[in-house]
Amino acid sequence: MEFYSRKSPRLPGYDYTTENYYFVTICTHNKECIFGRGNELSPYGEIVQQHLQELPMHYKQVQVDVFKVMPNHIHCILVLDAGADTGLDVVVGLFKSGVSKQIHKIDPDCKVWQRSFHERIIRNQQEYEKIWNYIQYNDQKWETDCFYPGSCDFRVQGGSRPSPTKENCRQNEELL
């Protein structure tokens, strides 16, 4: 029996404990809008926001520079300071786990997160400023975002929806 081997989205050979700024995007399971709608956070979105704000208390060498909780995903810039002994994947994994545990106290059947996460190593000041602005003003461009499902309620019931189109996501990437 052959098993599917999933290709890692991480940069081969890069040490993700390296002091740097990282642009991180994490999507909800099936991109369901469980974190709120528009600028209004749901109770689940408030849990996510709280956990993001508390990350530096759990990881002394990790700072949250900026973040935005959107209805079905989050964006943030995480900063790993020199001497970080915990890698980016561990920080994100434990963040996702902590959020899931708290949400499961409310709804044990809720599938919170999509597998893995997207990250980009921020390479220079110009890129940092573009990404920071993108995150800060992401909610103002929600209807053109590649994750926008059309009509977001606090929770989309039943099944999955199609993935964002490559064209819409390319347009978002061009903003960076």
CATH architecture label of 20-159: 2-Layer Sandwich (3.30)
pTM, two decimals, is 0.78
The domain spans of the chain are 20-159
* 158-164: Cβ within 8 A, 24+ apart: 159/30, 160/30, 160/31, 161/30, 161/31, 163/31, 164/31
Highest mean pLDDT among 37-46, 103-112, 154-163, 164-173: 103-112
Is-contact 164 122, C-beta < 8 A?
Answer: no
Query: Distance between CA atoms of 37 and 120, rounded to whole angstroms?
Result: 26
pLDDT at 7: 56
pLDDT at 146: 58
Residue 80: the pLDDT is 94
Average of per-residue pLDDT across 146-151 = 58
Span 37-62, pLDDT tens digits: 877 899 999 999 999 999 999 998 99
Q: Given this model, what pLDDT does residue 37 score?
A: 82
pLDDT value at 161 more than 60: no
Q: What angle in degrees, to the nearest 10, is found between the helix axes of 125-136 and 166-175?
A: 120
